[in-house]
């Protein structure tokens, strides 16, 4: 089973996890770590410990900002943790797709997850405008 950890600045990770579980129900393989909070959680240590406890399972860590401090620190773990996959730009469609995926190939799962996450980003005003223009053109 793929383990999914959302690790972001402040409370975003916790909010995304709660929202995903509101939609999908409790997910035993979904975890959240809030970095840079007043509680000063050592997110690097928590993830390293998690990776040691799950050495044979793939662990996908979703961070908020590519090149941000959380993402950069965790990227340094990739050479020593072969089961770690790191994806930046976490959003709710990404989390849901990753949890629902039944792909056997992790690389294919990640590619599909990123595609779906990108598809979840749309300018609805533009979509409505385009659809309205299309309907108008039909008459």
- Residue ranges of domains in the chain: 3-138
pLDDT of residue 139 exceeding 60:
no
pLDDT (tens digit per residue) in 89-115 = 999 999 999 999 877 899 999 999 999
Which class in CATH covers the domain with range 3-138?
alpha beta
pLDDT at 137: 64
DSSP letters, the chain, are: --EEEEEEETTHHHHHHHHHHHHH---TTEEEEEESSTT---HHHHHHHHHHH-TTS-EEEEESSTTSHHHHHHHTTGGG-TTEEEEES--HHHHHHHHH---S-HHHHHHHHHHHHHHT---HHHHHHHHHHHHHHH-
pLDDT at 20: 98
pTM of the model: 0.90
pLDDT of residue 132 exceeding 90:
no
Q: Which residue matches tokens 């959680």?
A: 41
C-alpha–C-alpha distance, residues 71 and 96, integer Å: 20
Which residues are CB-contacts of 108 (< 8 A; sequence separation ≥ 6)? none
pLDDT at 138: 61
pLDDT of residue 88 exceeding 80:
yes
């Amino acid at each position: 089973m793929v383990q999914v950890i959302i690790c972001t600045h402040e409370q975003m990770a916790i909010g995304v996890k709660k929202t995903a579980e509101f939609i999908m129900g409790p997910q035993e393989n979904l975890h959240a770590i809030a970095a840079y909070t007043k509680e000063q959680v050592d997110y690097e240590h928590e993830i390293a410990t998690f990776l040691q406890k799950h050495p044979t399972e793939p662990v996908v860590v979703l961070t908020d900002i590519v090149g941000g401090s959380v993402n950069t620190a965790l990227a340094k773990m990739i050479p020593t943790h072969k089961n770690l996959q790191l994806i930046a730009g976490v959003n709710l469609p990404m989390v849901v797709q990753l949890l629902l995926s039944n792909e056997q190939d992790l690389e294919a799962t990640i590619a599909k997850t990123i595609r779906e996450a990108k598809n979840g980003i749309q300018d609805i005003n533009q979509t409505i405008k385009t659809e309205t223009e299309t309907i108008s053109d039909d008459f």
